[in-house]
Structure 1
Amino acid sequence: MALFGKGKGGGLMNVIRCDEEDYMVWKWRPLGQDVNSTSRENSIRYGSSLRVKDGEVAVFVYKSKDGPLQDFIEGPFDQTIKTANFPVLASIVGMAFGGESPFQAEIYFINLAGNNQLRFAVPFFDVFDPRLPDHGIPMAVRGTITFNITDYKNFIKLNRLINFDHERFRGQIKDALSKYVKGVVMNIPQELGMPVVQMERQILTINERVEAYLKPRIENDFGVNLKGFDIAALDIDKDSPYYEELRELTAGNTAKTINAQTDLGIRNMQDTQRINLANMEESLRIQREEMQRAQRLQTESNFMGAHSLDQQTEVLKTGAQSLGQMGAMNMSGDGNSMNPAGMMTGMMMGGAVGQQMAGMMQNMGQQMQGAMNTPPPMPSVQYLVSINGAQSGPFNLQELKMMAQSGQITRQTYVWKQGMANWDFAGNVAELASIFAPPAPGTPPPPPMP
């Protein structure tokens, strides 16, 4: 905003500032004057006030015999125009009028605000589904670009000091933006092998790829810093003659995929149950065989003594028969005479054998009596345990007690043994109650008041 007079000495400018809201570069000029006016109403006197807000820079362009000169004043700035603030003025304006001589200058304000947003829309273009390569489906892309100007001197070199608004910038980047968006979006169905009607599921991937192409081009060729590129929507033309055909094809394949995944899941669950059951049956079979083997070994140990006695008895009987035959032998050669020495030897050997057999029978009786008095071993109780969803065991009571003490199992751990109808919590099995420590009692009552 500016107030000025029309004296011959040039306009008296009270305030030079920019009140525009949506701009990138804005040229200051007196009210009612054309943007390229060079009339004396554009002349500026010393003492005029210049206001530059935070987030913008003012550029003074002076005419001199050596060509245009520039001063850059970054905001915040609110001072009067003096040679102390604008050193370049001393080489342009003479001091013949005591510092009151007007001077000609063009003043531009450049917007350095952190976030300039520009909405964009790429109109419908054909995208081809891999399953229908000859049927293009029209698609449009909408979104927002967020940018700012950081290197304003480079921006001036690339774009010149002219009025520059968002629409002008949109026109500059329109072709580059359209090219990169189309190039990425059209290739996504083929590269990712996905239906066109499901492309919005990959909107983040599409966004990243377009931004990777667009950012260096925007920054190097147009002089702005691209802070963000955001695709808001991928719009399919649902009035296209191929849209319904493609949607039905995709829905049919999706249903088939879901059904196939469901069938596979059911088969996997059935296989898992079958394997678990087979493992359980095998564990129980091994357990039964081990128990039967232990009982058989115990029985064989009990009757080993009887078997040994039978064997020794047979040996002694054979020895007695041999001695008897020796006693009957005729030592004189006369068949009618007896052999006294042989008879005495047989009687002595028979007594010894008898004593030995008696001792053996006595020992055997004691062993048999001890075996009969020894109770058979108690059958070992074996439980299967479910730990973290996996079956473990079998474990006997002593092993389960150690597991409970170490915290591997609790009252809420599932257990099962042969004879139980189903798996149940260990705390619900009476036989296992003793392996768990009783719960701690509650807080003791407070002491009685004195």
Structure 2
Amino acid sequence: MRLFNHAKTGGFMDVIRCDEGSYLIWKWHPADAPAGSNNRENEIRWNSHLRVKDGEVAVFVYKQKNGLMQDYIEGPFDQTIKTSNFPVLASIYGLAFDGVSPFQAEIYFINLAKIIQTKFAVPYFDVYDPRFTDFCTPVAVHGTITFRISNYKEFIKLHRLIDFKLENLQSEIRNAVNRYIKDIVINAPAKNDIPLIQIESKIAQINDEIEYVITERFRESFGIEVSDLDISNIEIDKTSLGYKQLMEVTKDVTIATLNAEKEAKVKNIRDMQQIEIENLEETLRIQREEDQYARHKQTQSANMDAFQTEKQADVGIAGANALGQMGSNGAGDINLGGSSCSDNGVNMASIMASMTLGSVVGQNLANTMNSAMSQMNSSKMPGNTNPSNISSVCYNVAVNGQATGPYDLITLAKMIGAGEINKETLVWKSGMVNWIKAGDVPALFGLFNNGTNTGNGTEMPPIPTENK
């Protein structure tokens, strides 16, 4: 009972704390019982004092029949051990020996503020260029991973505290890092669409992808929080045969690509020049046509009177043709009966239409010709010396029984030449008593050149004898 009496007086009371300068997991033991010396290192005296610094957590591990049980005391904590602070201890600790007997527990301190930095080096492994899968090139990766314990309860579930060694954890982490890095780097050229020999240009992108994968996996597999992963370099073995072969074929492809790009650029330049030439030719053609059109219009403007005379004469001829066509279609038939068509009737609508159209066309042509002829300085026809007589002498012409005109001698000559008037056509002008045949009008003899008239066209014919 001496042991417990000393415990009452405080002679054997312990101060449980961690004085290690750098640690991740550290097991506490009494000062007079070095670690591994005997089982008393797990005997914790009641009313011992527990000190846990900020950023630490003390884990009390009790071995019971139903397995291990833990109490977690997070820092800062500086108190005497009491059941009120230890829920698990309160459930298993009895009141025997007046509550001062030792209880069995292993105490571990976990450093939550400790940041562990571990270097890794992935030895050479084969990587293939997706463009040339026949050549494998050795690649090595070097870097550093930084982590700490964030969820200590999860960490304890995954690791045995009793035999925990940081070196073992770091070795496991390196092996996992190597595995994940190999998988990502091997697929990086195809995934990022880059030649293998340029993989170093994608270190930052590959680094981010590896850090994301490892952060998620290490939280699940190791219960640690990765705060940083830094790939210092991705090294290609440039002395290997695969690298030399890859460089040679890449060089050939590069030269071929450059030549193809050069030819494409030259062709593009030629095509652009050809297009420019064609555009220039088209522009010049349009300019020539516009110049010709402008000169044509200038010529028309300078000879507007003659141009108008020519066009209006064509209009008169077209009008006469139209009237002739109307006559041939029966437009001038006379129909006084009740039916629309009769041999001895008069179609008044046709008569009015023919007279109106003939009058308009004839008057328009006469006015135009009179104006044009009066402006001419010199123009001669057979049998006339005064051009004003030509425009002043006008005859009406009977076409299909309808009076058309009056027409001057120039227009009559065109109509005779077109076969619209012959010697048998009846004509009339102001001063004549009756309609007479055109072949009997002396003024028109010179217009008929077929030799059927009584004169020869140069001698004045005899005056016919009046019938008594």
TM-score range, shorter chain: 0.5 to 0.7
Task: Tell me whether 1:38 sits opposite 2:130 in the alignment.
Answer: no
Shift of 1:269: 4.4
Q: Partner letter of residue 145 of structure 1?
A: I
Which whole-Å deviations, capped at 9, do the CAs of 1:145-192 have from their partners, x for residues lacking one?
A: 344434332322221223545432232244443333333434555676
Q: Partner letter of residue 156 of structure 1?
A: I
Which whole-Å deviations, capped at 9, do the CAs of 1:33-73 have from their partners, x for residues lacking one?
A: 2268532586345251412323x422112356766432112
Distance 2:165 2:228 in 1: 19
The equivalent residue for 1:144 is 144
Say which SS state the counterpart of residue 155 (structure 1) adopts.
Answer: helix
Contact 2:300/2:307, CA 8 A, preserved across alignment: no
Contact 1:11/1:42, CA 8 A, preserved across alignment: no
The equivalent residue for 1:172 is 172
Rate the CA distance shift 1:295–1:47 in 2: closer, same or farther, 3 A: farther
Shift of 1:305: 2.5
Distance 2:268 2:48 in 1: 88
Say which SS state the counterpart of residue 84 (structure 1) adopts.
Answer: helix
Say which SS state the counterpart of residue 12 (structure 1) adopts.
Answer: coil
The equivalent residue for 2:408 is 316
The equivalent residue for 2:182 is 182
The equivalent residue for 1:57 is 57
Rate the CA distance shift 1:89–1:337 in 2: closer, same or farther, 3 A: closer
Say which SS state the counterpart of residue 39 (structure 1) adopts.
Answer: helix
TM-score scaled to structure 2, two decimals? Answer: 0.56
The equivalent residue for 1:444 is none
Task: Tell me whether 1:304 sits opposite 2:299 in the alignment.
Answer: no
Q: Which has the larger radius of gyration?
A: 2
Rate the CA distance shift 1:134–1:297 in 2: closer, same or farther, 3 A: closer
The equivalent residue for 2:82 is 82
Distance 1:50 1:192 in 2: 53
Say which SS state the counterpart of residue 297 (structure 2) adopts.
Answer: helix
Contact 2:43/2:102, CA 8 A, preserved across alignment: no
Which whole-Å deviations, capped at 9, do the CAs of 1:246-292 have from their partners, x for residues lacking one?
A: 33443443344344434434543454455345435534543453354
Which whole-Å deviations, capped at 9, do the CAs of 1:284-312 have from their partners, x for residues lacking one?
A: 54345335434433542453322333643
When structure 1 is superposed on structure 2, of 202-211 and 140-149 the one drifting more is 202-211
Contact 2:42/2:106, CA 8 A, preserved across alignment: no
Distance 1:296 1:81 in 2: 121
Q: Partner letter of residue 17 of structure 1?
A: C
The equivalent residue for 2:257 is 257
Rate the CA distance shift 1:320–1:230 in 2: closer, same or farther, 3 A: closer
Contact 1:62/1:104, CA 8 A, preserved across alignment: yes
Contact 1:327/1:339, CA 8 A, preserved across alignment: no
Q: Partner letter of residue 81 of structure 1?
A: I
How many matched pairs?
328
Say which SS state the counterpart of residue 110 (structure 2) adopts.
Answer: strand
The equivalent residue for 1:239 is 239
Segments of 5+ residues of structure 1 without an aligned counterpart are 1-6, 330-334, 342-450
The equivalent residue for 1:223 is 223
Distance 1:49 1:240 in 2: 61
1:369-408 superposed matches below 5 A = none
Shift of 1:20: 4.3
Rate the CA distance shift 1:95–1:326 in 2: closer, same or farther, 3 A: same
Task: Tell me whether 1:112 sits opposite 2:204 in the alignment.
Answer: no
Contact 1:46/1:99, CA 8 A, preserved across alignment: no
Say which SS state the counterpart of residue 120 (structure 1) adopts.
Answer: strand
Segments of 5+ residues of structure 2 without an aligned counterpart are 314-368, 374-389, 391-406, 414-426, 430-437, 444-460
Q: Partner letter of residue 85 of structure 1?
A: N
